[in-house]
Structure 1
Amino acid sequence: MKTIALIGNPNVGKTTLFNALTGSNQYVGNWAGVTVDKKDGYLTKDIKIVDLPGIYAMDTFSNEEKVSKEFLYTDEVDLIVNIIDGSNLERNLYLTSQLTQFKKPILLVVNMIDVAESNGIHINYELLSKELGVNILPISASKGQGVKEIKEFLIKNDSFQAIDSTINFKHSFENKNENETYKYIETLLKRCVKGKKDSKDNLTEKIDSIVLNKFLAYPLFLGIMFLIFKFTFDWVGGPLQELLEKLINENLVSLIQIPLANTSPWFQSLIIDGIIGGVGGVIVFIPIILTLFIGISFLEDSGYMARTAFIMDKLMRKLGLSGKAFIPLLMGFGCSVPGIMSARTLESEKDRKLTALIIPFMSCNARLPVYALFTSILFAGNESLVIFGLYFFGLIVAFIMAIIFKNTIFKKEEEPFIIELPEYKMPEIKSLLLHTWEKGKGFLKKAGTLIFAISVVVWFLSNFNFTGMVDIDKSFLASIGGFIAPIFAPLGFGNWQNSVALITGLMAKEVVVGSLEILYAGGLEAAIAATFTVASGLSFLVFTLLYTPCVAVVATMKKEFSTKFALFSVFYQFAVAWIFAFGVYHIVNLFI
């Protein structure tokens, strides 16, 4: 078995190359911090590829650097594949100069050659290879250009010792300190690279002059996000969701009722009210979820998401947060689990814990079905505005809690924030669809397993008690709901059905909709319209936004930190949600 390590600066395309070599579908974003731990895959059964976290140097003492350095010092690494950005050779080659310390064979892969050429950068690869004394392969991983040649190179060389260029490579950088190393790189590139465009002609810089403008940056950010929500809920996702809902609730149910005509009433109820009502009530929202994923993935792949972290840095510091923490927060909008895991990139334990505690306030995609359901009934015509407001409100609550924690249990000096702003690029359609499908596939998998199982359990508990099948008001679930309902009464939605639905949401937030569909026995829209007012509806949405995250998030908290920390997150977030929902309910009631 041969082990090949992929290493390079953040955002040079390591994970894209890793996916191309191994056939994996690891998350790829056009911004730094995507890979926070090493990932394994296989080119062949005898060649293992390891994707290491992106780092700028081997002497920064970051968590990513520790992971990479520890792995490269082991004897199991047969070849280091150093990926560098062809449009940023000078910065990338500093890390390259440090790789000689590991005494491993090295292959230098120059990625993004299409970007370099579009910027007028022409690299003499043959001369650069000769000067450095190392094998060089130019590629464009995102377009698949040169990937075949890398595969052939890795498979063809049975023993990488035969291509060991470490001695010559080390000679290029030996006995040089950091100033001297950069001077050598600069001199080398003058001989090997020609024709860089003047910065005035650089499209990225022209766009950044607007996007990063101190007066325009925040309004543009809010405007872009609002357009994403309009695209999702009003222009594309919403209409598709209504069509799918009609197909399931009318066509599919009518079709299934035919073979069920001669079966027992309880079995018909299980299939129609339990499974189709529970799972189908969630599935109808997949057009909205996929549409939002497309919008967010477009921003990530285009390079804009890196700018959001940059422009939020100054504001976050005023609110008591490190700017670097905004990247895990951004990931939390997709799912809190990878967001919490990506907090590993933060330098201190206190910052990691603080960030992990506020990430669940970022509205993950699992809450979308709840938002879409309630806004379509209670705020028809203003869905995108209300949902945009919920996302923004979650961010505000996160900032408030961060200030409280920073000035109480997590007092600490702030750390510098360094992030690379990648070149803007038009996302590849194939890559965009692949990312969207991977996220959507996870939602469908959850619907077919966890949501299916919980729907059956909820149906059973809502139709039976110790005497057998009964009316829902006398069921096990009615008794349980009646016991916990007083907790939610001050928030404006204290009936037992709503209370039970929120409790089942601890397994997965999408289950809230499925549970309500079952508990209101097919009359969900009418029940919501009759049960909720504008004030209580907003209170319910705010509580759903903020309350205790699903078990997967709690388990991740336990794994990353401790059981005590996970339990603290459970109870403190429930308390925060209750307080804010209480405030929203009573404040809104003052004005309506």
Structure 2
Amino acid sequence: MKKAITVALAGNPNVGKTTLFNTLTGSRQHVGNWPGVTVEKKEGIREYSGRTIEVTDLPGTYSLTAYSADEVVARNFIIEDRPDVVVQVVDASNLERNLYLTMQLAELGRPVIIALNMVDVAEGRGDTIDEKRLAELLAMPVIRTVGTSGEGLLDLLDAVVAIAAKGEKHTHTIGYGDDAEALISDLVGILDDDPDLAPRYPLRWLAVRLIEGDADIRRVVSGSSVGDAVSARLADIDFDEYEATLADKRYEAIGAILPQACTICVRKMTGSDMIDRVVTNKYLGIPIFLALMWGAFQLTFAVAEPFMAGIEYIFGWLGEGVAASVGPEWLASLLGDGVIGGVGGVLVFVPNIFILFLILSILEGSGYLARGAFIMDRLMYAIGLPGKSFIPMLMGFGCNVPAIMSTRTIEDERDRLITILVNPFISCGARLPVYILFAGVFFGRDAGNVIFGMYILGILVAILSAKLFRSTVLPGESSPFIMEMPPYRIPTLKNALLNMWEKGSTYLKKAGGIILIGSLIVWFLASYPAGVGYGSEESFAGMIGKFVEPLVAPLGLDWKIAVALIFGFVAKEIVVSSLGVLYGAEEGSAALSDALLADPALSAAGALAVMVFVLLYMPCVATLAVIKKETGSWRWAGFSVLYGLVVAWSLAFVTFHVAGFFLGGA
């Protein structure tokens, strides 16, 4: 059996790399983290021409200079894991910027293929690219591709199989000028004396990285037998000057290549330019962004409602069947109230979550979400939130855990710490079931507006908290935010569905694991000690709730809500499953929503207070653990808990009393 071909998929952000990866691997892919690094790792498999092709999607990066964790991961995978082929996905409409990464990849001594992607966009705006001439000048294959349609995909796979069979390395190098080349030559001679370095690294590449001041490479070399000799040779050089010189030489090489392979016609205003004049307008940008987000939540609620009703009916039917046919009574209660009432109370919101993720995936695939980051950055930078933090904040709408992990791309430690501390206020998908439950029960047709308001409140609290931290515990100037706007594209349904499933399936796994366990624990606490009424104040759950009730009573909440909030510390979805358990027996086969509406202790103002408290109070266990890991201190993790509780209680108190004035119930 032939060995699998390993392929590394590299490229700048927003070049269509993820789309091409999805088209290549389809559903045969999985996501995890790189060992020892909190950077997402995507891998997939493609069977082609009798060979198994294992594709690893490297983090998007503009260079291999290793200023961030993403760049280190991409570079180290190519150097240390030695893939058979490196496929660089290049945006054909931005060749000059993309070819800078090509110049660096060529120095790594691995077989490289250029996937000249989005050719349709380039040609649509008047560019003519001679890929055969470009291949000659770069000394590597260049394949035209359109990731969204699959055009050129088979040609790319043919090239991968052919190059892997030959095992050829591309050793295209750039002349960096007499002074730099003399220094590189000296360093190569010194490095060659260490028998461990040469088999692991291309020595010329090591020398180039050393004179550019790469801290990671200097650590590698300093631990070798030639470390002292290398340090002595580099003792008197200006690293910044050499880095600038080498970058200039790369751009000179690109400048010499482009006119021979690409004819760039007179630029016309593109469709993307015309749309951006409106959606990124200084005055219109934020209202348009907020209107689209509001529409997304309205559509989510409207489309999901019949599906929710169907799931609720199924679980109601199951609950009645268990109550009527299962014995003894404790087992019927365990299955009906604990499992069906708890997990079913959470699964009923699956349609909302999947629909919202689908809408956000479509917006992301179209290129608009990048504009959202740009639009909101102006406001956030003005009040002290680090500009680079918006991408982790955006990720927080899915889950705060990977969002906090992604802050490793922020170089300034104070900027990074502020982003970590305010990220838990961004409303993750786990909170959505709580909003849907209470907004749907108490606000009817206005539920979408109320849920949208929760997301806006989370953003405002994050922004104001960042301003507070910037002016008190972490003073200083916030770093600027630089990003490239991708062209607008028509998103493909396949990629949107894959993205939706990748994010939504995490919710399903929670329901099958941690939420089930949490529901069973709540059932036990609500059922015992033996002889007390299920869910009564004499149960263990009632005792815990009554002990905590004085703290939440000023918010218009009773002991049952208090118990649910305590268990919500494990995972926010458990708030709903706990309520499903605690309310289930009292209303027989009635849905949780009916039970909440019938509870005289709960009002519309109290429902708003619950949503505000769940939005802002302490991070879940997983988020708290990653805060500790990323900050390296339980002190900041504890601060996050205490600060969140104070903010949550204060705003929930204000919400309850202000809303009570208008809605009644305070």
Normalization by structure 1: what TM-score? 0.90
Greater displacement, 548-557 / 328-337? 548-557
What CA distance in whole angstroms lies between the structure 2 residues aligned with 1:139 and 1:172? 30
Give unmatched runs, 5+ long, in structure 2. Answer: 33-37, 179-244
What CA distance in whole angstroms lies between the structure 1 residues aligned with 2:648 and 2:596? 21
What CA distance in whole angstroms lies between the structure 2 residues aligned with 1:491 and 1:123? 65
Contact between 1:504 and 1:515, CA under 8 Å: does it hold in 2? yes
Q: SS of the counterpart of 1:110?
A: strand
Give 1:342-353 correspondences, 5 Å limit. Answer: 342-353=406-417
Per-residue CA deviation, residues 288-344 of structure 1 (Å, 9 max, x unaligned), is: 111111111111111011001111121111110122111111110111111111111
What CA distance in whole angstroms lies between the structure 2 residues aligned with 1:441 and 1:10? 25
Q: Could you say if the C-alpha distance between residues 341 and 548 of structure 1 is closer, same or farther in structure 2, counting changes exceeding 3 Å?
A: same
Q: SS of the counterpart of 1:199?
A: coil
Q: SS of the counterpart of 1:473?
A: coil
Contact between 1:84 and 1:109, CA under 8 Å: does it hold in 2? yes
- Are 1:387 and 2:451 an aligned pair? yes
Amino acid of the residue matched to residue 576 of structure 1? V
What CA distance in whole angstroms lies between the structure 2 residues aligned with 1:117 and 1:566? 51
What residue is the counterpart of 2:365 in the other structure?
Answer: 301
What CA distance in whole angstroms lies between the structure 2 residues aligned with 1:16 and 1:414? 33
- Are 1:332 and 2:396 an aligned pair? yes
What residue is the counterpart of 1:581 in the other structure?
Answer: 652
Give 1:213-232 correspondences, 5 Å limit. Answer: 213-232=281-300
- Are 1:245 and 2:312 an aligned pair? yes
Greater displacement, 553-562 / 60-69? 60-69
What residue is the counterpart of 2:495 in the other structure?
Answer: 431
What residue is the counterpart of 1:360 in the other structure?
Answer: 424
What residue is the counterpart of 1:550 in the other structure?
Answer: 620
What CA distance in whole angstroms lies between the structure 2 residues aligned with 1:506 and 1:532? 22
What CA distance in whole angstroms lies between the structure 2 residues aligned with 1:174 and 1:81? 29
What residue is the counterpart of 1:512 in the other structure?
Answer: 575
By relative contact order (CA 8 Å, sep 6+), the higher-ranking structure is 1
What residue is the counterpart of 2:147 in the other structure?
Answer: 141
Contact between 1:501 and 1:515, CA under 8 Å: does it hold in 2? yes
What CA distance in whole angstroms lies between the structure 2 residues aligned with 1:470 and 1:382? 34
Amino acid of the residue matched to residue 216 of structure 1? L
- Are 1:483 and 2:547 an aligned pair? yes
Contact between 1:7 and 1:14, CA under 8 Å: does it hold in 2? yes
What residue is the counterpart of 2:107 in the other structure?
Answer: 101
The CA deviation at 1:198 is: 3.0
Contact between 2:280 and 2:375, CA under 8 Å: does it hold in 1? yes
What CA distance in whole angstroms lies between the structure 2 residues aligned with 1:432 and 1:415? 32
Give 1:113-512 correspondences, 5 Å limit. Answer: 113-158=119-164, 161-162=167-168, 164-166=169-171, 169-170=172-173, 177-179=246-248, 181-194=250-263, 196=265, 198-200=267-269, 202-233=270-301, 235-249=302-316, 251-257=317-323, 259-260=325-326, 263-465=327-529, 472-493=536-557, 495-512=558-575
Contact between 1:322 and 1:417, CA under 8 Å: does it hold in 2? yes
The CA deviation at 1:207 is: 0.6
Greater displacement, 368-377 / 438-447? 438-447
How many aligned positions are there? 577
The CA deviation at 1:58 is: 3.6
Give unmatched runs, 5+ long, in structure 1. Answer: 29-34
The CA deviation at 1:286 is: 1.1
- Are 1:110 and 2:116 an aligned pair? yes
Q: Could you say if the C-alpha distance between residues 236 and 324 of structure 1 is closer, same or farther in structure 2, counting changes exceeding 3 Å?
A: same
Per-residue CA deviation, residues 174-231 of structure 1 (Å, 9 max, x unaligned), is: 878544543543453333224647332x111111011011111011011111111110
The CA deviation at 1:469 is: 7.4
What CA distance in whole angstroms lies between the structure 2 residues aligned with 1:64 and 1:387? 34
Contact between 1:5 and 1:77, CA under 8 Å: does it hold in 2? yes
Contact between 2:342 and 2:580, CA under 8 Å: does it hold in 1? yes
- Are 1:528 and 2:566 an aligned pair? no
Rg larger in structure: 2
Taking only aligned residues, the RMSD between alpha carbons, in angstroms, comes to: 2.8
Per-residue CA deviation, residues 502-538 of structure 1 (Å, 9 max, x unaligned), is: 1111121111111112112353435433222232221
What CA distance in whole angstroms lies between the structure 2 residues aligned with 1:337 and 1:402? 19
Amino acid of the residue matched to residue 639 of structure 2? F
Contact between 2:126 and 2:267, CA under 8 Å: does it hold in 1? no
The CA deviation at 1:562 is: 2.5
Amino acid of the residue matched to residue 577 of structure 1? A
Greater displacement, 38-47 / 431-440? 38-47
Amino acid of the residue matched to residue 165 of structure 1? H
What CA distance in whole angstroms lies between the structure 1 residues aligned with 2:126 and 2:31? 30
What CA distance in whole angstroms lies between the structure 1 residues aligned with 2:325 and 2:546? 37
What CA distance in whole angstroms lies between the structure 2 residues aligned with 1:75 and 1:294? 35
The CA deviation at 1:416 is: 2.3
Task: Give the counterpart of 1:7 among 10, 22, 27.
Answer: 10
Contact between 2:68 and 2:411, CA under 8 Å: does it hold in 1? yes
The CA deviation at 1:243 is: 3.4
What CA distance in whole angstroms lies between the structure 1 residues aligned with 2:532 and 2:605? 38
Q: Could you say if the C-alpha distance between residues 432 and 79 of structure 1 is closer, same or farther in structure 2, counting changes exceeding 3 Å?
A: closer
Per-residue CA deviation, residues 23-73 of structure 1 (Å, 9 max, x unaligned), is: 554689xxxxxx945555566898654433222234473343333344444
What CA distance in whole angstroms lies between the structure 2 residues aligned with 1:174 and 1:39? 39
Amino acid of the residue matched to residue 282 of structure 1? V
Per-residue CA deviation, residues 323-380 of structure 1 (Å, 9 max, x unaligned), is: 2111111110111111111111111222222111111111111111111111122212
Per-residue CA deviation, residues 64-94 of structure 1 (Å, 9 max, x unaligned), is: 3333344444473554332211121121112
What CA distance in whole angstroms lies between the structure 2 residues aligned with 1:332 and 1:177? 38
What residue is the counterpart of 1:31 in the other structure?
Answer: none
Q: SS of the counterpart of 1:107?
A: strand
Q: SS of the counterpart of 1:289?
A: helix
Q: Could you say if the C-alpha distance between residues 138 and 460 of structure 1 is closer, same or farther in structure 2, counting changes exceeding 3 Å?
A: same
What CA distance in whole angstroms lies between the structure 2 residues aligned with 1:205 and 1:266? 66
Amino acid of the residue matched to residue 226 of structure 1? W
Contact between 1:309 and 1:323, CA under 8 Å: does it hold in 2? no
Contact between 1:240 and 1:287, CA under 8 Å: does it hold in 2? yes
What CA distance in whole angstroms lies between the structure 1 residues aligned with 2:380 and 2:165? 51
What residue is the counterpart of 1:32 in the other structure?
Answer: none
Greater displacement, 65-74 / 88-97? 65-74
Per-residue CA deviation, residues 370-401 of structure 1 (Å, 9 max, x unaligned), is: 11111122212210111111110000100111
What CA distance in whole angstroms lies between the structure 1 residues aligned with 2:41 and 2:147? 19
What CA distance in whole angstroms lies between the structure 1 residues aligned with 2:328 and 2:530? 20
Q: Could you say if the C-alpha distance between residues 558 and 374 of structure 1 is closer, same or farther in structure 2, counting changes exceeding 3 Å?
A: same
Greater displacement, 143-152 / 84-93? 143-152
The alignment-based identity, stated in percent, is 43
